[in-house]
Structure 1
Amino acid sequence: MSFPHLPAPLADALTARGYETLTPVQAEVTEASADGRDLLVSAQTGSGKTVAFGLAMAGELMADGVLPPPALPLALVIAPTRELALQVAKELAWLYAAAGGRIATCVGGMDASRERRALNQGTHIVVGTPGRLKDHLERGALDLSALRVAVLDEADEMLDMGFREDLETLLDASPAQRRTLLFSATLPRPIVQLAKAYQRDALRVSTVGEDRGHGDIAYRAVAVAPSDIEHAVINLLRFYEADTAMLFCATRDNVRHLHASLVERGFAAVALSGEHSQNERNHALQALRDRRARVCVATDVAARGIDLPTLSLVVHVEMPRDAEVLQHRSGRTGRAGRKGTAVLIVPYPRRRRVEMMLRGARIPAEWMPVPTPEAIRAQDRERLLSQLLAPVEIEEDDRALAAELLAQRSPEDIAALLVRAGRAALPAPEELIDREPAARSEHRPGFDDVAWFRMNIGRRQNADPRWILPLICRRGHVTKTEVGAIRIGPSETQFAVPRALAARFAQAVAKTADPSGEDESGVRIEAVQGAPAPAAPAQRRGPAPQRHQARPTRPGQQGRR
């Protein structure tokens, strides 16, 4: 037996499952020092924590390695979502199968009457979501009076989702002497408060690295013009060509829009948000698992509890509100020792704020440019060569068809057709705005009579014409050719528009601002009273700062909108 310190049925189950050693979190919670104690565990998603708490609760469930006949539940596992609860139940089922363990599930979207019958027939472990468990408790179908162990899985997510009251109701209905095992990827203040209220002398267990929340995830960050975010998503998907990728948006409307754009461009994508029914969610997840879809566009809540073994790329299309949400999102990949990549798409105005958040969370993200079409085509070439040269078993029908082709076309033509067919299935990469020259000339034809405006951002806020120009166009409802010189100072930026357009431009700016005069990024645009401050002569500024001054833009290099 490979695990002599565990009950024989569980040790045999692990061996049959192919376990040679326990993961760090599994080893920690089965140490002698953890026996019988409440546990406060922080471990990354996908680290084997389901098996960990399955092993940790064995001492309370099994006397001399044997489970009693099924009756009132001895253990309760609470998970934030239906998908995670069913996944947990599936893991515990094989772990306790040899011991004769009976496991009941109570989750939203399932037949409640069938769940009540399962509870009435007796069980050892109940796994469910907070709302459905509370409903069964209040209706008298769930009796927690004999409970010995309560497990809160991904407790931080359950609190984020507003389940604190439900959790407290369930814990208050169970015996005070029960063990409470609290598993959470992060330990924000609400989790610490919950632990203090419902745990006694809890043993703190942490297998999360000190430098970042997920040691198997490579963090990347790209800074883009706000109007180029969607193009950046497309190029990232094309560059990495992940088996499965998850894109996070902030709202269901943004999920709907991005999903439609990706499908239109030829990506096999599905969407998950609060507007989708449970049946639609099931279909979307199944499409990802059987590879009919490779991209999932989702909101934070909709993606919680989802486990996709092939997920290797997470893209934060819209930045999360804090580092904890960032780690939760990113934790969908890099699971159980597999490598993953998390990419943050950062609008230029928010780069400094994101850098501060990453430093605070000790996440060393590598800043990189958005993959260019040239880089993507180079990757495509390598991937196509690898696919076409990979050894495969060829059936006789295929050889016969190949012989017919060779009789009609040359080998070079057939190889070229194969390459063309492979490339035809790939969506086209996008050209980004910031590939155009990053400047505006001081003197351009048609700008002899101009009105000047200013913005409350400058070099200290990473101001750059590459993203300022699209912002001016969007806020003022003008085209790039209608914007004149752009002068970037330390803390403000001045720019010119033809005087004939100034009134219309100012009205459009006012309509696109909030009551305080700023947009969603905190950028204020207002008219300059009087003549603008002249640009400082280059010879007075010295050689070093000249890199900040604008260089003339050649005709035809304005780029695309």
Structure 2
Amino acid sequence: MTTNPALARALAERDYNDPTPVQLAVLAPEASGRDLLVSAQTGSGKTVAYGLAMADTLLGTDERFGPATAPQALVVAPTRELALQVQREFEWLYAATGARIVSCVGGMDPRQEQRALSRGAHMVVGTPGRLRDHLERGRLDISAVRVVVLDEADEMLDLGFREDLQFILDATPPERRSLLFSATLPRGITMLAKRYQREALRIEVASAEGGHADIEYRAMRVVPKEIEHAVVNVLRFYDAPSAIVFCNTRETVRHLHATLQERQFSAVALSGELSQNERNSALQALRDGRARVCVATDVAARGIDLPSLGLVIHADLPNDAESLQHRSGRTGRAGRKGVSVLLVPPFRRRRTEDMLRGMGLTPAWSGPPTADEIRKLDHERMLRDPLLTDEPSEEDAAVARTLLEQQPAEHLVAALVRLYRAGLPSPEEVADPGEPRGRDRAAARGLGGPSGAGGGAWFRLNIGRRNKADPRWLLPLICRRGNVTRDDIGAIRIFDEETAFEVSAAALDRFSTSARKSDGSDVVIEPLPGGAPSSRPERPAPRWKGPQDKPGYDKPGQDRLGRGKPFRDKAAPGKGGHEPRAGKPPGRGPAERGPNAFAGKPAGKKPRRP
């Protein structure tokens, strides 16, 4: 894979036996010593690729570097996370060469970086803004640089680093070698390459599948108010060693991170408002297994490489196909399989389908995982748990025999099940907005619908239309209080002060027992007297569309003079003011309207129009 013995040993220690397409392309004989313009998808192994491509220029056949003075290689990356990731990759790849690698990224102490640079470096890895700052202050000398690498150049241009890149490249020696890597090659990248590269070899290694071969895409229909519950169920359903949940704003990250922590998930947050040390700590917690879920904004979409990351959840849909690609590219890396789940509200479905179609993807559509599906998986996982399948030690077996002498076996097994479930976050009852509603849904569930013909029973809830009741959040509430699933609930009818709903006969006993228990809230569930609420009138709240819709107004189209405006004449005796008096225009005095015209009203006051 490489001709340098030191790097070859490092690759062998990491079991790099099968090079990726991009690694083969940059190490091909025709690419040796040349400027390269490489289009490669994220997760394709390009960091190791340009690390190997640099070796021939920096080391040749030597196995070690000389004393560290001015840097010989400069790598520019768009984000702090990616720059630090490159530094970590280079540290193991060049470990046997004695290379000194210094990082210069925003959010870190610049004085500490200055001291590291003053001690000398063979390679410098950094972000455009911080590198330019060191150059302008005279802390970084790149006059001896022999190789420059621009990693994810398209992202740097999108983030507005064009001027910084040009400043850095103008400060490098003109005879240096430049390697430009980008997921896409828009016009801005080609113009940059034309200006700063010499007869660059263009390499495109994006697969025909668009870099998605190892990623399974799933699109799940969700109710907008249940997105957080859907995230909980997706995490529980896939049970990946580590997962990333993407949100579009910092506020959403904070809220969802707190929610997951309350549900017993070991979660960390990652967003632009955190300091670099906080972000490094969060990533380290994911790497060493102290955390399994990362809730992040798109700042984490590039530069994070977690070997155990098997699941990406888009709690907020990305704005474009490129963001989706880079988010999803955190999983399915270097030949490993991964899953990317998009949570799609009904009003975003068409846009999502268009975006996926433009990427050449045909995802599997479904509703979110249900609580019953998760409980079934929990049962199967428990049976496969090493605590049950591994042979017990002598000490454990002795304790087990003692327990069996004191307690029945069934009681001990039940306690084991309780302990196993106690460590798992509870799944949520969620709805699938793609399911049939109303009578069709009740029929599909084997319920009797509003008539109660299926043998179920009706209950009432002390929440109604005045409390802004909505089936989208009432249904999960009912299921949680009654310890049932949404398949056990039939028709739901919302009134002004209460809500009536039907429970199937199969779940009636369980629901009645659980619903009687108080959960500390003011929500009360009790049987509905008289059965189905067919005789209970639904009183819709009044809806005023305009003055003409209020009582006391004539039909639209006529005013008192027949000129096209609604009116009300309070002077009409015995009529409640609903009809005009023929032949009498408005504005006449009381004497002309009759003695009873203003009966019961204070004298001298003009009657108000409604």
TM-score by length of 2: 0.70
Task: Output the amino acid matched with 1:438.
Answer: R
Alignment of 1:362-511 (within 5 A): 362-387=360-385, 391-392=389-390, 394-434=392-432, 437-439=436-438, 481=494, 500-503=541-544
CA 157–402 in structure 1, closer or farther in 2 if over 3 Å, else same: farther
| 8 Å CA contact 2:107, 2:275 repeated in 1 | no
Distance 1:250 1:307 in 2: 20
Matches within 5 A, 1:127-526: 127-387=125-385, 391-392=389-390, 394-434=392-432, 437-439=436-438, 481=494, 500-503=541-544
Deviates more, 1:221-230 or 1:5-14: 5-14
* Residues 1:164 and 1:480: Cα distance change in structure 2 (over 3 Å): farther
The answer as to 2:58 corresponding to 1:45 is no
Equivalent position to 2:3, from 2, 6, 22: 6
Distance 1:426 1:193 in 2: 53
Residues 218 and 364, structure 2, Cα contact 8 Å, conserved in 1: yes
Answering whether residue 25 of structure 2 is matched by residue 22 of structure 1, we say no
* CA distance in structure 2 between the aligned counterparts of 1:290 and 1:92, rounded to whole angstroms: 20
CA distance in 2, matches of 1:440, 1:16: 64
Change (3 A) 1:233 1:504: farther
Cα distance in structure 2, aligned partners of 1:498 and 1:155: 62
- Change over 3 Å in CA distance of 1:37–1:293 after alignment to 2: same
Report how far residue 283 of structure 1 moved.
2.8
Runs of 4+ aligned residues of structure 1 deviating over 6 Å after TM superposition are none
- Which secondary structure state, in structure 2, belongs to the residue aligned with residue 214 of structure 1? coil
Q: Report how far residue 124 of structure 1 moved.
A: 1.9
Code of the residue aligned with 1:219 in structure 2: it is: Y
Aligned equivalent of 2:591: none
Q: Which residue of 2 aligns with 1:34?
A: 31
Cα distance in 2 for residues equivalent to 1:163 and 1:347: 35
Query: 2: distance between equivalents of 1:168 and 1:399?
Result: 69
Structure 1 residues 84 and 52: alpha-carbon distance in aligned structure 2, compared to 1, 3 A threshold: same
CA positional deviation for 1:41 = 1.9
Aligned partner letter, 1:26: Q
Cα distance in 2, alignment partners of residues 192 and 78 from structure 1: 17
Tell me which amino acid in the other structure corresponds to 2:410.
E
| Mean Cα deviation higher: 117-126 or 366-375 | 117-126
Matched, 1:60 2:44: no
Instruction: Show the counterpart of 1:94.
Output: 92
Query: Aligned AA for 1:174?
Result: T
For residues 485-523 of structure 1, the C-alpha deviation after alignment (integer angstroms, 9 at most, x for no partner) is: xxxxxxxxxxxx966432499xxxxxxxxxxxxxxxxxx
Displacement of 1:177 in angstroms is 2.7
Task: Give the distance between the partners of 2:198 and 2:32, measured in 1 at CA.
Answer: 14
TM superposition shift of 1:313: 0.4
Distance in 2 (alpha carbons) for counterparts of 1:480 and 1:229: 24
Q: Do the aligned residues in 1 keep the contact of 2:77 with 2:156 (CA within 8 Å)?
A: yes
Distance in 2 separating the partners of 1:469 and 1:201: 64
**Take 2:321 and 2:450, find their aligned partners in 1: how far apart are those partners?**
45
Indicate conservation of the 8 Å contact 1:272/1:303, yes or no: no
- Deviation at 1:320? 0.6
Distance 1:245 1:75 in 2: 34
Q: Distance in 2 between matches of 1:86 and 1:345?
A: 31
1:107 and 2:120 matched: no
Amino acid at match of 2:542: L
User: Secondary structure of 1:87's match?
Assistant: helix
Cα gap change, 1:434/1:63 in structure 2, threshold over 3 Å: closer, same or farther? closer
Using a 3 Å threshold, how does the CA distance of structure 1 residues 384 and 34 change in structure 2: closer, same or farther? same
User: Is 1:213–1:363's contact at 8 Å kept on the other side of the alignment?
Assistant: no
In the aligned structure 1, how far is the partner of 2:36 from the partner of 2:346?
Answer: 43
Query: Deviation at 1:213?
Result: 2.6
> Which moves more between the two structures, 160-169 or 293-302?
160-169
In the alignment, residue 502 of structure 1 is paired with which amino acid? R
Mapped to 2, the partners of 1:18 and 1:224 lie a distance apart of 42
- One-letter amino acid matched to 1:424: A
Cα drift, residue 314 of structure 1 = 0.2
C-alpha distance in 1 between matches for 2:184 and 2:398: 59
Give the residue type in structure 2 aligned to 1:481.
I
- Offset from partner CA, 1:126-163 (integer Å, 9 cap, x none): 11122221111111111122222111122233333332
Q: Look up the equivalent residue of 1:57 and give its one-letter code.
A: M
- Percent identity reads 60
* Higher mean C-alpha deviation, range 320-329 or range 123-132: 123-132
Query: 1:154–1:216: structure 2 CA closer, same or farther, 3 Å change rule?
Result: same
Distance 1:437 1:218, change over 3 A: closer
Q: Select the structure of larger CA radius of gyration.
A: 2
CA separation in 2, counterparts of 1:482 and 1:100?
A: 76
Supply the AA of the counterpart residue of 2:340: A
Q: Distance in 1 between matches of 2:495 and 2:155?
A: 48
The one-letter code matched in structure 2 to 1:162 is: G
- With over 3 angstroms needed to count, the CA separation of the structure-2 counterparts of 1:419 and 1:254, relative to structure 1, is same
Q: Give the TM-score normalised by the residue count of structure 1.
A: 0.75
Q: Deviations over 1:402-434 (max 9, x none)?
A: 222111122332222212211122222222233
Unaligned runs of 5+ in 1: 446-467, 472-478, 484-496, 506-561
SS in 1 for 2:10: helix
Which amino acid in the other structure matches residue 202 of structure 1?
A
Cα gap change, 1:263 to 1:69, in 2 (>3 Å): closer
Q: For 2:131 and 2:300, how far apart are their aligned partners in 1?
A: 20
Alpha-carbon distance in structure 2 between the residues aligned to 1:172 and 1:421: 64
Residues 208, 214 of structure 1: 8 Å contact kept: no
The 8 Å contact of residues 80 and 158 in structure 1, kept in 2 or not, is answered as yes
Give the direction of change, closer, same or farther, for the CA distance of 1:285–1:393 in structure 2 (3 Å limit). farther
Partner of 1:451: none
- Secondary structure of 1:86's aligned partner: helix
Answer 1 or 2: higher relative contact order, Cα 8 Å, separation at least 6: 1
**1:185/1:328 contact within 8 Å kept:** no
1:64 CA displacement: 4.1
Q: Which residue of 2 aligns with 1:548?
A: none
Deviation, 1:393, is 5.8
